[in-house]
Chain A
Amino acid sequence: MNHLTDQQISELLMEIAPSKAEAHARNCAHCASRVTQLTAPLANFRGAVRNWSAAQRSPQPVFTISYGAPKLAGVYSLLIHATFAATLLALGTLKPVGDMVQRQISGSIVLQPYISVHKVASGGGGGGGAREINQASKGALPKLAPRQFTPPSVDPLTNPKLPVPAAIVAPDDLPNVIANNFGDPLSKLGLPSNGPGAGAGIGLGTAGGVGSGNGAGFGSGESGGFGAGAYRIGGGVSAPVVVFKPEPEYSEEARKAKWQGEVGLQVIVDANGVPVSVRVTRSLGLGLDEKAVEAVSKWRFKPAMKDGKPVAVSANVVVNFRLL
């Protein structure tokens, strides 16, 4: 018999070939190889497509979750959440839990204004008056404020057009008395008087404060605060920082005498960082004091801060004179 035709081989592959052709393909090596030439790639093709599609299959869920009816699920969810919230509430109201929480949160919450840990009294002061004949009378200090708009007065206006409560600029650890009228708490009782000072306020001073000083504070000092002098460093007042510091010159006499030592100075640094009043507290002599004052007067400071605002402050400076 002749070898199989292509068509017969195709029939074989389709499994519709007559039995005669099948028998020939089994017996004839040539035809068998021709069939294999076609069947082997097709078998590979089948296997490859199957492998490929098996690998491409998207991951199937391993298990399915049955959620039940949506309404019921909502009810269950609500119940679970309510139970949870109720448990939390019940736990919170239990006494042992409350005690434990209180132990954890120890210490009371302080709602007072912040005062620096440095308990050095800050300086400053103020004073005023209304050029009255009598001394300032005793009374309460007005409330404290970072800035003074209205100076205190023994007999305040009854119907001011723009009512602003009287205030002084001072820290809150002042000596005070309880009284209905404003006045100087350190003064004697007497006829109500604003005192012989000037520039509103109460007392002997010259600006809107209370006392004999010059400023909006209380006491004999200057420019706010309490006490004598300008603010002092500490008690909520930060120190001024030197930013420009020319060195003092040696005086001719001191150089000749080989004179060395330190000059102590007290400086009031104003709110702009400029030294306004330089005073010698420890003298050295031979013209070195003058040189020190001259140099320190040229210094410039980053001003001291109180409550975030620059204030005038009194500071001590030591100038060292050493011959090299």
Chain B
Amino acid sequence: MEHVLSSDRPVADFGLEDFDAVVELHRPRVLRFILASLRDRDTAENLTQDCFVRAFKARAHFRGDAAVSTWLLQIATNLIRSHEASQRLKFWRRALRSTDASGLGDWMPDDQQASPEANAMARQQLEAVWRVAANLPERQRTVFLLRFVEDMELLEIASVTGLREGTVKAHLFRALQSVRAGLEIRVNGRKS
């Protein structure tokens, strides 16, 4: 890496000169997004690293059209897509993924005031959302995570995914529909 770091290509002034600072600032977010998408810590770490390597190599071509975070997430999205494409034939990967869907309940933010019952219910709902998110098609999942985990605007999502705003909206609608259905199954299943 050192020879790359010591190269002195001209960099436009978008706050990218101090790349260490960029990494420090944006790494948690990129990692979180990739982790939520792939649910595999090692892969997520690797892809995060790849993402920053790519960003570093291409930092001269960054035009400053979007925020640095958007740009990085765009790279991450592409990396996830190509990773999924390379993994698509791996049946076992998908089989394994469905089994660890219940892992997120432990990480639910604690609500001290709520009753244990309400907490348990919130936990079930959370796991339902997690399961639904796991089974969403790749684009819907990406859009869903960007909107509801990363809190991005539709326009930002559009620039990250390279889709038009209308397409993003449609994907989000479908994703929300799936989440709603998943939650209702959970609620009905509990009632019956």
> Contact residues of A with B, CB < 8 Å?
6-7, 10, 13-16, 37-38, 40-42, 44-58
Give the complex CA separation of A105 and B108 in angstroms.
70
Known: A13-B176, A51-B107. 11 other contacts (CB 8 A): A6-B177, A6-B180, A15-B153, A40-B125, A42-B179, A44-B108, A44-B125, A44-B126, A48-B126, A49-B104, A51-B109
Task: Indicate whether A53 sits within 8 Å of B35 (C-beta atoms), given known contacts A16-B169, A46-B149.
Answer: yes
Check B109 against A44 for contact (C-beta < 8 Å).
yes
Chain B minimum-CB-distance residue to A52: B107
A53 and B28 contacting across the interface, CB-CB below 8 Å: yes
Q: With A14-B147, A14-B169, A41-B129 in contact, is A52–B179 under 8 Å at CB?
A: no
Sort A-B residue pairs by CB-CB distance and give the 4 closest, nearest first.
A47-B109, A53-B32, A41-B125, A51-B107
Contact across chains for A46 and B148 when beta carbons are under 8 A apart:
yes
A47 / chain B contacts, CB cutoff of 8 Å: 107-109
Which of A44, A51, A57 has its CB near the most chain B CB atoms (within 10 A)? A44
Q: Interface readout for B138-179 with A: 1 if CB under 8 Å, 0 if not?
A: 000000010111010110000000000000010011001101
Closest chain-A Cβ to B31's Cβ sits at a distance in Å of: 6
Find B122's partner among A38, A40, A51, A56 (CB 8 Å cutoff): A40
Whole-angstrom distance between the alpha carbons of A55 and B25 in the complex?
17
Q: Give A55's nearest chain B residue, CB to CB.
A: B107
Place the interface of chain B in its size category.
35 or more
- Residue B71 is within 8 A (CB to CB) of chain A in the complex: no
Residues of A within 8 A of B32 (CB): 49-50, 53-54
Give B52 Cβ to nearest chain A Cβ, in Å.
13
If A14-B154, A42-B179 touch, whether A49 touches B173 (CB-CB below 8 Å) is no
Contacts of A6 in B (CB 8 A): 177, 180
| Distance (whole angstroms) from the CB of A322 to the closest CB of chain B | 88
**How distant is the Cα of A7 from the Cα of B174 in the complex, in angstroms?**
10
Chain A contact surface mostly: helix
- Interface class of chain B by DSSP: helix
Contact B169 A42 (CB under 8 A): no
List of B residues within 8 angstroms of A10 by Cβ:
172-173, 176-177
Contacts of B183 in A (CB 8 A): 37-38, 41
Contacts of A58 in B (CB 8 A): 45
Contact present for A41 and B122 (CB under 8 Å): yes
Contacting pair B109 A45 (CB below 8 A)? no
Q: Contacts of B105 on A, CB cut-off 8 Å?
A: 48
Distance from A119 Cβ to chain B, minimum over Cβ atoms (Å): 75
Contacts of B154 in A (CB 8 A): 14, 16
Write the chain A residue with the least CB distance to B104.
A48
- One digit per residue, 1 when the CB lies within 8 angstroms of any chain A CB and 0 when it does not, for chain B 105-146 equals 101110000000000001101101110010000000000010
Q: How far, in whole Å, are A54 and B44 apart by their CA atoms in the complex?
A: 13
Per the bound structure, the CA–CA distance linking A297 and B154 in Å amounts to 114
Listed A/B pairs (24) with beta-carbon separation below 8 Å: A10-B172, A10-B173, A14-B154, A14-B169, A14-B172, A40-B125, A41-B125, A41-B183, A44-B123, A45-B126, A45-B148, A46-B149, A46-B151, A48-B105, A48-B107, A49-B32, A49-B36, A51-B107, A51-B108, A53-B32, A54-B28, A54-B32, A56-B31, A57-B28
